[in-house]
Structure 1
């Protein structure tokens, strides 16, 4: 599964990874190493986040459909 992110966003994330290594681990990590780490995480955990997003979207659509069903039922006219 390919997760496409813009070059600007990718650079921001790479900078964040480098800052994390510097602040939390007192270690320096280069651009290439940070990019490879990002690619690894995108490949390994990206699909989990994607699937959760699909699940959340499905739940939202189902809630809206239920709400629409209630609204449509309220429009019915009584039959004598």
Structure 2
């Protein structure tokens, strides 16, 4: 898996959310630099867990839909009696 990269706009929005969370929930202020450092940490160390969970969820959905499609194909079969 390659490194997770965010656009400048995405990074700015995430930084805003981190700063608001620290202020609202922890009653602490965090600077933009510190918030970006935290983003990089989470992307590198925790991001793969979310990525892998997303892949597993996609695989499960794909398998379910493929099984469903199999049933739909079976319903198209013509009687051979």
Structure 1 and Structure 2 fold alike (TM over 0.5): yes
TM-score (norm 1): 0.89
Answer yes or no: is 1:27 the counterpart of 2:41.
no
TM-score (norm 2): 0.88
Deviation at 1:21? 1.7
| CA–CA separation in structure 1 for the residues paired with 2:62 and 2:26 | 43
Give the aligned length.
80
Deviation at 1:26? 2.3
| CA–CA separation in structure 2 for the residues paired with 1:67 and 1:25 | 47
Structure 2: runs of 5+ lacking an equivalent: none
- 1:45 corresponds in structure 2 to 46
- 2:74 corresponds in structure 1 to 73
Deviation at 1:79? 1.4
Q: Over aligned residue pairs, what C-alpha RMSD do you find?
A: 1.2
Structure 1: runs of 5+ lacking an equivalent: none
- 2:11 corresponds in structure 1 to 10
- 2:56 corresponds in structure 1 to 55
Q: Which runs of 4+ in 1 moved over 4 A?
A: none
Deviation at 1:22? 1.8
